[in-house]
Amino acid sequence: MTKCTPNHQLRNLVAESGLTYEALAKEVRAVAAECGAALRTNKSTIEHWISGVVPAGDTGRYLVVALSRQLGRLLTLHDLGLGPHEEGDDSLGLSLGEDPLDALLPMWSHELNRRRFLSTSAYSVAAAGLPLSYVREIADRTAAARAGQTIGMAEVAAVRDMVRLFSEMDERHGGQHGRSALVQYLRDDVAPLCRGRFRTDEIRQQMLSAASRGVHLLGWKSYDAGQQGLAQRYYLQSYALAVESGVPGHDGFVMRTMAMQGLKLHRPEHCQALAETGLNRAKGKVDVQTESLFRVVHAHTLAKSGQRQAAVVEAERARTLLAADCGDEMPFWALAWGPPAASVYSRNAKVYETLGDRRNAAEQYARAAASRPASYARIVALDLVASAEMQLKGGSIEQACATWNRAMDHMDGVRSVRTRKAVTGMRSGLARFRARGVRCAADLDERAVEFLAAT
Residue 356: band (very low, low, confident or very high) from pLDDT cuts 50, 70, 90: very high
- Of 197, 237, 213, 239, the closest CA to residue 108 belongs to 237
pLDDT band at residue 144, thresholds of 50, 70 and 90? very low
pLDDT in tens, 404-426: 999 999 998 888 888 999 999 99
Coil, strand or helix at 197? strand
Residue 23 banded pLDDT, cuts 50, 70, 90? very high
Percent of the chain with pLDDT over 90: 57
Cβ count near 2 (within 10 Å): 5
Which stretch of DSSP H or E encloses residue 150? strand 150-151
Is 94 in contact with 121 (CB distance < 8 Å)? Answer: no
In this predicted structure, the answer to whether residue 146 has a pLDDT above a threshold of 90 is: no
Q: Indicate the pLDDT class of residue 292, thresholds 50, 70 and 90.
A: very high
Q: What are phi and psi of 11, to 5 degrees?
A: -60, -45
Predicted local confidence at residue 135, as pLDDT: 39
In the predicted structure, residue 267 carries a pLDDT above the cut 90: no
Dump the DSSP string for 251-282.
HHHHHHHHHHHHHHTT--TTHHHHHHHHHHHH
Question: pLDDT per residue over 321-339, tens digit each?
Answer: 988 866 678 999 998 888 8
Give dist(CA 29, CA 83) in Å, integer.
Answer: 21
Helices 250-264 and 228-245, interaxial angle, to 10°? 160
pLDDT at 165 over 50: yes
Mean pLDDT calculated for residue range 2-8: 79
**Residue 364 pLDDT grade (very low, low, confident, very high; cuts 50, 70, 90):** very high
Going from the C-alpha of 208 to that of each of 186, 187, 201, 244, 275, the distances in angstroms are 12, 14, 11, 7, 22
The amino acid at 419: T
- pLDDT tens, 178-236? 788 888 889 888 888 888 888 899 999 999 999 999 999 999 999 988 888 889 999 99
* Amino acid of residue 47: E
d(CA 206, CA 46): 50
Higher-confidence position of 78 and 363 = 363
pLDDT of residue 396: 94
What pLDDT score was predicted for residue 1?
40
Q: With bands split at pLDDT 50, 70 and 90, how would you rate the model's confidence at 37?
A: confident
CA gap 417, 78 in Å, rounded: 32
CA neighbor of 362 nearest in space, from 324, 389, 344: 389
Closest CA to 111 of 95, 129, 89, 84: 89
Mean pLDDT on 91-113:
76
Cα 242 to Cα 264: distance, rounded to the nearest angstrom: 23
Cβ neighbours of 398 (radius 10 Å)? 12
Q: What is the mean pLDDT of residues 232-257?
A: 95
pLDDT for 147: 39
Amino acid, res. 161? D
Percentage of residues of the chain with pLDDT beyond 70: 88
Beta-bridge mates of residue 198 = 151
pLDDT per residue as tens digits for the range 201-212: 999 999 999 999
**Residue 407 Cα distances to 223, 340, 368, 385, angstroms:** 20, 21, 13, 6
- In angstroms, the CA 426 to CA 404 distance is 8
Decide: 156 and 206 in contact? Cβ < 8 Å. Answer: yes
Q: Using CA atoms, how far apart are residues 419 and 119, in angstroms rounded to an integer? A: 19
| Region 287-316 average pLDDT | 96
Least confident of 123-132, 313-322, 422-431: 123-132
Q: What average pLDDT does the chain have?
A: 86
Confidence of residue 24 (pLDDT cuts 50, 70, 90): very high
Whether the per-residue pLDDT at 115 is higher than 90: the answer is no
Per-residue pLDDT averaged across 58-86, rounded?
A: 79
**pLDDT tens by residue, 378-388:** 999 999 999 99
List the domain boundaries for the chain: 8-85
Cα–Cα dist 103/392, whole Å: 45
By mean pLDDT, which of 27-31, 211-215, 277-281, 389-393 is the weakest?
Answer: 27-31
Q: Which of 93, 128, 127 is nearest to 109 (CA)?
A: 93
Return the pLDDT at 130. Answer: 61
| pTM as predicted | 0.76
Residue 348's pLDDT is what?
Answer: 96
Confidence of residue 4 (pLDDT cuts 50, 70, 90): confident
Contact 383, 368 (CB under 8 A): yes
* Residue scoring higher pLDDT (414 or 427): 427
